[in-house]
Amino acid sequence: MCVLRELYGAGVEKLRIEHNSFTTPSNKKLEIVTISSNYHIEVNPSDVGIHDRVVVQEMIKNVAQVNQLDTSSQKDFKVVVLTEVDRLSRDAQHALRRTMEKYMATCRLILVCNSTSKVIPAIRSRCLGIRVAAPSQEEIAQILHNVCKKEGLNLPSELAKRIAEKSQGNLRRAILMCEACRVQQYPFSADQQVSDPDWELFLRETATMIVQEQSPRRLLEVRGRLYELLTHCIPPDVVMRGLLQELLSNCDGVLKPEVVQSAAHFEHRLQCGQKAIYHLEAFVARFMAIYKRFLEEGIADLF
């Protein structure tokens, strides 16, 4: 946003939400929500799943064909912001690659993604890559101080530091945490509890359950909890990662490599497959088996 503001001035902040519809070659109607100003348009093409190719092409074509109104006072190109490019299908990425070049004159793209691993090289070589590193803990703490100052709050630096630590470089989270703390207790105290989102607590409990008992019955309970998480739209890969973290902190060092391997293995399956629950459950079962074997060997060693 800031870049766009620099480019076009304040006009770019007059936003509107539009529902655009497209028709796929198979005559399926697609609807996608875009956020746009007169100068730019922001869209998350991965919202439409496998039909993203059509959206990408049409969107850019449309934007590029509408010329800038007042070329004397503006830049002579529009900007298309595509978010979550790493979630685009291969097909769409290939389509994007040439479309980018074709409409270079009238429109520029800003692609936003978490990691370039999933962006095909052809696109990477056509873009100016800007790596946006996460802010360091000191930076986060500093920002928190600034925010609190503006809000007229007094933030102990001890607490700011702890929040920064917990946020793991995620500034958005840090600010949210800070606000949650304020609601919990104000004035702040240096040692007050910084709360996690409740699904993380839930996940932690689930991990404890797994470590406590390894049996099919327990697995059934765990499955119920996994379903619970999924109904609340926690993405399965996030669940998998969180579960791994919690399980690792609960198990012996010797087991860690094996557990990590199986987590990576099933997470890959999860990405390839369709029914996330199979793979999550498979991971839990694998962990249970590993852990149980470890315990049994431990008992055997005792005698």
Partner 1 sequence: MEAFLKGSTASSQTKKASAPLASTSKKDNKDVQQSPKHIPWVEKYRPRTVEDVAHQDEVVAVLRKILTGSDLPNLLFYGPPGTGKTSTILAAARSLFGHDLYRSRVLELNASDERGINVIREKVKSFAQFTASNTRPDGKPCPPYKIVILDEADSMTSAAQAALRRTMEKETKTTRFCLICNYVSRIIEPITSRCAKFRFKPLAETVMSERLKHICKEEKVQIVESALETLMHVSDGDMRRAVMYLQSASRLCGQDEPVTENIIMDITGVMPDEMLDLVLKTCHSDSYEKLDLVVKQIIREGYAASQVLSQLHDRVVNMEDITDRQKSAICEKMGEVDKCLTDGADEYLQMIALFSVIMQQLCHGE
Partner 2 sequence: MFPAHKLPTRVKTEAQRRKLKSALNSELWSEKYQPKNKEELAVHKKKAEEILIWLKNNITNVAKHSAPILLLTGPSGIGIPYAFYKDQSSLHEILRKYHFCGRCPLVFVLSDTSSSGSSILRLFPKHIMEELKIETISMNPVAPTMMVKVLNRIISQEAKMGSSSVPSAQVVESIAMSSGGDVRAAVNALQFACRCDTADLSKIKSLQKALKKEPSGSKKRLKYGGLSQRDSESNEQSGQTVIIGAKDTTCFLFHALGKIFYFKRADPHDAANHPSLPAHIKQHERDPLMLIPEEVVEKTQVSGDYFNTFLHQNYLEFLSTVEDVERFLEYLSDADTLSSQYTTRGDLLDYSVSVATRGFIHSDSACCHHGDSRKGYGWRPLHKSQWFSVQKQSDLSRSTAVTLFQGYHWDPEILLTELVPFIGLINPTLHDPGILISMWMRSGLERLDEKEILEGEEECSEVRVPDIEQKNEANTASALSTDTEADSGDTLPGSQTKHKCCAR
**Could you tell me which of 71, 65, 59 has the C-alpha nearest to residue 21?**
59
Least gap, CB of 118 to partner 1 (angstroms): 6
Q: At what angle do helices 90-102 and 52-65 cross, to 10 degrees?
A: 10
Burial class of residue 209 (count of CB atoms within 10 Å of its CB; 0-12, 13-18, 19+): middle
Least gap, CB of 279 to partner 1 (angstroms): 11
Q: Please report, as residue ranges, which positions from 19 to 48 form the binding site for partner 2 (by CB under 8 A).
A: 33, 35, 42, 44
Site of tokens 């956020």: 35
Contact region with partner 1 (CB under 8 A), list: 141-149, 215-223, 240-248, 287-295: 240-248
d(CA 25, CA 259): 45
In this complex, which beta carbon is closest to partner 1, that of residue 188 or of residue 242? 242
In this complex, which beta carbon is closest to partner 2, that of residue 22 or of residue 199? 199
Backbone angles phi, psi at 29, to 5 degrees: -85, 135
Site of tokens 């595509």: 82
Name the token pair of 283: 């991971």
DSSP 8-state symbol, 253: G
Rule CB under 8 A: choose which of 29, 231, 300, 302 binds partner 2: 231
Q: Please say whether the beta carbons of 59 and 41 come within 8 A.
A: yes
Q: Please say whether the beta carbons of 17 and 34 come within 8 A.
A: yes
Q: Which residues bind partner 1 (CB under 8 A)?
A: 8-11, 14, 16-21, 25, 38, 57-58, 62, 65-67, 69-70, 72-76, 94-99, 102, 104, 115-118, 121-122, 124-134, 168-169, 237, 240-241, 244, 248, 253, 256-257, 260-261, 263-265, 267-268, 271-272
Interface residue list for partner 2 (CB under 8 A)? 1, 13-17, 33, 35, 42, 44, 83-84, 147, 150-151, 170, 172-173, 175-177, 179-180, 182-184, 195, 197-199, 202, 214-217, 219-220, 223-224, 227-228, 230-235, 238, 266, 269, 272-275, 277-279, 281-282, 285-286, 288-289, 292
